[in-house]
Amino acid sequence: MTDILSKKLESKIDKKLISKSKRRELDDGFKKGKVINEVLDKPTVMTLYKMITDHVIAYVNGSVSAGKESVVFWGVAEDDSNVALKIYLVSTSNFKKREPYLTDDPRFRHVKKGTKNLVYLWAKKEYRNLSQCYDAGIPVPRPLYITKNVLTMDFVGVNGSPSKSLLTSEIEQNDYTQAISILKDLYHKAKLVHGDFSEYNIFKTDSGLVVFDLGSAVDLRHPNSKEFLKRDINNITRFFKKRGMIVKNSDDVFMEIVNEL
Ligand SMILES: Nc1ncnc2c1ncn2[C@@H]1O[C@H](COP(=O)(O)OP(=O)(O)O)[C@@H](O)[C@H]1O
Ligand SMILES: [Mg+2]
């Protein structure tokens, strides 16, 4: 990028940020098409602009979801395909409590305890987890790109509306079977435990379940991986039971997964 261009960009962003700070609180900041809003800090906006000038995406089309620690935007690539941009919020100090998920994972052994930029590492971790799953043939959104705190992946859904999660879908017995089989494949093929496996983090699409939100997933060698797996099984079993499905005993499922060769 030339200097002049980047200056222009800076001042453009500045203006947006100034006008933004004069606006009311968050509530009207999430209208479709309104990209630069209260949740994104300046470095993140710069990252998005850079992704546009680097042709990773063509533009950002609107917001999909706003959480405390991350927001998800709908972006469009130059070939018109829809992508999801999961942006981890840098200012969220809550990442501290996630440190053990990172530093106790052998893949991130080199990370020093007390590292400041945990948020970038967390984004990278989710990207790596997605890649490991995708390569192992597990149904996840295809990871496309990672830079700083912005993770780009295939958009699961239509026209900027994400597919329904299990929570808001009609449930059939086969969904339970699929969910357990995903847990198994995560363990044996991707060598991961999800860590936050629930009705909130699984899409039900026309072509089956798709699991996402893999930031918490850990390597099997993580000292707490078995405990996390137990929790994942308990959570999903509870959900399906509540929805009237026939479920296996959680402990039996655990033994089945862990002992299967
Ligand atoms: N790849 C995707 N395609 C479409 N929508 C997505 C995608 N990833 C996330 N979303 C939407 O954003 C929401 C939050 O994403 P998630 O990864 O679960 O973040 P959080 O950590 O905030 O729970 C999801 O419930 C879903 O509606
Ligand atoms: Mg989630």
More confident residue, 30 or 96: 96
Amino acid letter, 104: D
Residue 105 burial (10 A CB sphere; 0-12, 13-18, 19+): buried
When pLDDT is averaged across residues 62-88 and rounded to a whole number, the result is 94
Domain that holds residue 220: 163-259
Alpha-carbon radius of gyration of the chain? 20
Q: What is the pLDDT of residue 24?
A: 39
Protein residues placing their CB within 5 Å of the ion ligand 2: 201, 213
Long-range interactions of 94-98: CB distance < 8 A, separation 24+: 94/68, 94/69, 95/69, 95/119, 95/122, 98/122, 98/215, 98/216
Banded model confidence at residue 106, pLDDT cuts 50, 70, 90: very high
More confident residue, 114 or 129: 129
pLDDT > 90 fraction of the chain, expressed in percent and rounded: 70
Residues 83 and 145 in one domain: yes
Residues 148 and 235 in one domain: no
Residues 201 and 128 in one domain: no
How far, CA to CA in Å, does 196 sit from each of 56, 132, 180?
29, 17, 14
Amino acid letter, 226: K
Residues 103 and 177 in one domain: no
**Could you tell me the pTM of the whole model?**
0.86
Q: Residue 92: nearest ligand to its CA?
A: 1
Q: What is the pLDDT of residue 109?
A: 86
What are the pLDDT digits (tens) for 204-249? 999 999 999 999 999 999 999 999 999 999 999 999 999 999 999 9
Q: Find the range with the poorest average confidence among 32-36, 53-57, 158-162.
A: 32-36
The strand ranges marked E within the chain are 59-66, 70-76, 82-88, 143-147, 150-154, 157-158, 161-162, 192-193, 202-205, 208-211, 218-219
Give residues (CB < 6 A) around ligand 1: 64-65, 67, 70, 72, 84, 86, 141, 153, 155-157, 162, 165, 201, 212-213
Give me the CATH number covering residue 252.
1.10.510.10
Closest CA to 230 of 261, 202, 200, 257: 257
Residues 151 and 28 in one domain: yes
Q: Which of 139, 161, 183 is the last residue of a domain?
A: 161
| Strand 70-76, strand 157-158: pairing | unpaired
- Count Cβ atoms below 10 Å from residue 149 Cβ, excluding itself: 23
Banded model confidence at residue 40, pLDDT cuts 50, 70, 90: confident
Q: Find the range with the poorest average confidence among 31-40, 52-61, 235-244.
A: 31-40
Q: Which of 138, 161, 184 is the last residue of a domain?
A: 161
Banded model confidence at residue 111, pLDDT cuts 50, 70, 90: confident
Q: Which atom of ligand 1 is nearest to the CA of 67?
A: 22
At a CB cut-off of 8 Å and minimum separation 6, what does 123 contact? Answer: 86, 88, 146, 148, 149, 150, 151, 215
Largest CA distance in the chain: 64
Query: Domain count of the chain?
Result: 2
Residue 252 burial (10 A CB sphere; 0-12, 13-18, 19+): exposed
Q: What is the pLDDT of residue 8?
A: 61
At a CB cut-off of 8 Å and minimum separation 6, what does 182 contact? Answer: 138, 139, 202, 209, 211
213 included as an active-site residue: yes
Residues 200 and 230 in one domain: yes
More confident residue, 103 or 52: 52
Q: Which of 63, 64, 88, 214 to mutate to test the pocket of ligand 1 (most atoms within 8 A of CB)?
A: 64
Banded model confidence at residue 14, pLDDT cuts 50, 70, 90: low
Q: Are 167 and 220 in contact (CB under 8 A)?
A: no
Check pLDDT > 50 for residue 23.
no
What are the pLDDT digits (tens) for 129-174? 999 999 999 999 999 999 999 999 999 999 999 999 999 999 999 9
Ligand 1 mean position, distance from CA 71 (Å):
8
Residues 171 and 148 in one domain: no
Ligand 1 mean position, distance from CA 73 (Å):
9
Q: Which of 134, 161, 188 is the last residue of a domain?
A: 161
196 included as an active-site residue: yes
Question: Mean of the per-residue pLDDT values for the chain?
Answer: 87
Q: Which atom of ligand 1 is nearest to the CA of 155?
A: 3
Ligand 2 mean position, distance from CA 65 (Å):
10
Q: Find the range with the poorest average confidence among 13-17, 57-61, 239-243.
A: 13-17
